[in-house]
């Protein structure tokens, strides 16, 4: 036992002004922001591709310019599952807003996420808004779209992708 006591060595503790948790959370926040930027860019790319496949005629009805081919979605990080269980998963950072300030709507296969927050002081009013549009592939049933808001302010919207063939997706 005397050998154990002799080999024991105290290590001095240096006290600093550095904040470990702030640095750790800052790094996590930076990684999260970069991840959300990548997701946002992918959502924009997919939405523009799908929008380019659509055309509105004079009566306002949406028709496709050519058969809709969803193969480009197969390698997208926004698509989860395989075969008939493929789901499109969209994520939006709306951490600046309360759940009551966020609305999610869909019309003619266009998803609209809108949030607004107003802060008033004696001298001024500040309004913060968030708006994103996403064009879903034709054949997505709006009744199957679900959205969830996490505690940390990430809005997740999921929609099962259609399993029909491209020819069946054509609008008459």
The predicted-structure confidence for 42-87, as pLDDT tens digits, reads as follows 888 888 887 776 554 445 555 554 545 566 666 677 788 777 788 8
| Beta carbons of 167 and 151 less than 8 angstroms apart | no
Does the pLDDT of residue 3 top 70, yes or no?
no
How far apart, in whole angstroms, are the C-alpha atoms of residue 12 and residue 26? 28
Q: Is 152 exposed, middle or buried (0-12, 13-18, 19+ CB in 10 A)?
A: exposed
Please name every residue paired with 106 in a beta bridge, in sequence order, or none if there are none: 111
Q: Which sequence spans correspond to the domains of the chain?
A: 18-169
pLDDT at site 62: 53
Q: Compute the average pLDDT of residues 28-49.
A: 82
How far apart, in whole angstroms, are the C-alpha atoms of residue 47 and residue 56? 16
- Predicted confidence band of residue 116 (pLDDT cuts 50, 70, 90): very high
pLDDT at site 22: 67
Query: What CATH code would you report for 18-169?
Result: 2.60.40.790
- Predicted confidence band of residue 130 (pLDDT cuts 50, 70, 90): very high
Reference 139, options 160, 157, 162; nearest CA is 162
Question: According to the per-residue pLDDT averaged within each range, which of 31-40, 65-74, 163-172 is highest?
Answer: 31-40
Please state, rounded to an integer, the average pLDDT across all residues of the chain. Answer: 76
């Amino acid at each position: 036992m005397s050998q154990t006591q002799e080999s024991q060595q105290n290590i001095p503790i240096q006290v600093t002004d550095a904040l470990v948790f702030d640095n750790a959370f800052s790094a996590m926040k930076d990684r999260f922001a970069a991840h959300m930027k990548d997701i946002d860019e992918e959502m924009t790319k997919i939405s523009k591709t799908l929008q380019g496949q659509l055309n509105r005629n004079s009566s306002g009805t949406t028709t496709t310019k050519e058969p809709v081919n969803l193969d480009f979605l197969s390698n997208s990080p926004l698509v989860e599952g395989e075969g008939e269980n493929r789901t499109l998963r969209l994520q939006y950072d709306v951490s600046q807003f309360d759940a009551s300030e966020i609305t999610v709507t869909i019309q003619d296969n266009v998803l609209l996420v809108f949030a607004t927050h107003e802060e008033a002081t004696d001298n001024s009013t500040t309004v913060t808004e968030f708006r994103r549009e996403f064009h879903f592939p034709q054949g997505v049933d709006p009744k199957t779209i679900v959205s969830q808001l996490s505690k940390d302010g990430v809005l997740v919207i999921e929609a099962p992708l259609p399993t029909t063939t491209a020819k069946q997706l054509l609008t008459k």
